[in-house]
Amino acid sequence: MELIIVDNYQELSERAAMLIVAEVEAKPRAVLGLATGSTPEGMYAELVKLNSEGKVDFSGITTFNLDEYAGLAPEHEQSYYYYMRHHLFNQVKIRAEQINMPSCDLENVDQFCFEYDQRIAAAGGIDLQVLGIGGNGHIGFNEPGDQLRVPTHLVDLTEDTILANSRFFSSVEAVPKQAVTMGLGSIMLANKIILLAAGKAKAEAITRTVSGLITTSVPASILQLHRDVTIIVDREAAGLLS
């Protein structure tokens, strides 16, 4: 794992964007795995800026998003599809047919999950996967527990996650209780992974990810087994690292 500690959120966003730009420059038809949440917002803003300045071209890339709330329509302001359109897809030239989002639809969800992994494989696998991290160590929506799942699947969100994400909803009750997420297998098969974390609420999860034991109670700790992971954190998220 390569650990990059930066001074502030702006620097984190710029460093992450630079890694994506380098990937797309080297491979204009790159397959990118994309994350949502507040952490990568600055990175997307940088990418939009660099694109508007003609410094990067996204017209050849294919994207696969990590996760989506179950049962939230794509038009819902808190759906991850809405987020991606708002922060990236509507702001850069990227073909709609190259965008892949997990389904919010609970009907035939198992079939959808199976096909989502097949679509990733058919695209040649993910070249670069961006990840955030939950305060409880989740990546995507792979929650801590006794077991971790390999394929894309439907997951019951933990109380911790529902509470943490309720800041985006009108109330805790309004937060969906389930989500569709890429599994640890889909994530670990990516060629390169970038994990971003900012703020002291992520400090414990980062310490356990970087230097703790590999355990299902910290899903991100499995990243220690991946051969090309870059973790970019601000000083607060790095605050408990020795």
Q: Which residues contact 199 (CB under 8 A, 6 or more apart)?
A: 234, 236, 237
**Hey, which residues does 236 pair with through a beta bridge?**
none
Residue 142 interacts with ligand GLP (CB under 6 A)? no
Q: Which residue is nearest to ligand GLP (CB)?
A: 132
d(CA 12, CA 18): 10
Distance CA 80, CA 44 (A): 14
Instruction: Tell me the closest approach of the beta carbon of residue 121 to ligand GLP, in angstroms.
Output: 22
- Pick the binder of ligand GLP from 141, 187, 206, 223 (CB under 6 A): 141
Residue 178, judged by CB atoms within 10 A of its CB (0-12, 13-18, 19+), counts as: middle
| Shortest separation between residue 28's beta carbon and ligand GLP, angstroms | 26
User: Which residue out of 51, 117, 138, 142 is catalytically annotated?
Assistant: 138
- Asked if 66 is part of the footprint of ligand GLP (rule: CB under 6 A), the reply reads yes
| Strands, sheet with 178-181, edge to edge from the N-terminal-most edge strand | 67-69, 178-181, 153-156
Catalytic, out of 46, 68, 127, 143: 143
Closest distance of CB 133 from ligand GLP, Å: 5
**Is residue 176 a contact residue for ligand GLP (CB under 6 A)?**
no
* Residue 140 engages ligand GLP in binding (rule: CB under 6 A): yes
Whether 108 sits among the annotated catalytic residues: the reply is: no
Please pick, among 51, 65, 136, 191, the residue that the annotation labels catalytic: 136
Between β-strands 153-156 and 178-181, what pairing exists: parallel, antiparallel or unpaired?
Answer: antiparallel
Query: What string marks each residue from 95 to 134 as x (binds ligand GLP by CB under 6 A) or -?
Result: -------------------------------------xxx
38 belongs to the binding site for ligand GLP (CB under 6 A): yes
In the annotation, is 107 catalytic?
no
8 as an active site residue: the answer is: no
Nearer to ligand GLP, 189 or 198 (CB): 198
- For residue 185 the two structure tokens come to 């297998």
Distance from C-alpha of 231 to C-alpha of 3, rounded to nearest angstrom = 5
Q: Is 136 labeled as catalytic in the residue annotation?
A: yes
The DSSP 8-state label assigned to residue 158 in this structure reads P
The Cα–Cα gap between 90 and 48 comes to: 10
Active centre residues (catalytic): 67, 136, 138, 143
Tell me which residues touch ligand GLP (CB under 6 A). Answer: 35-39, 66-67, 132-134, 140-141, 161, 165
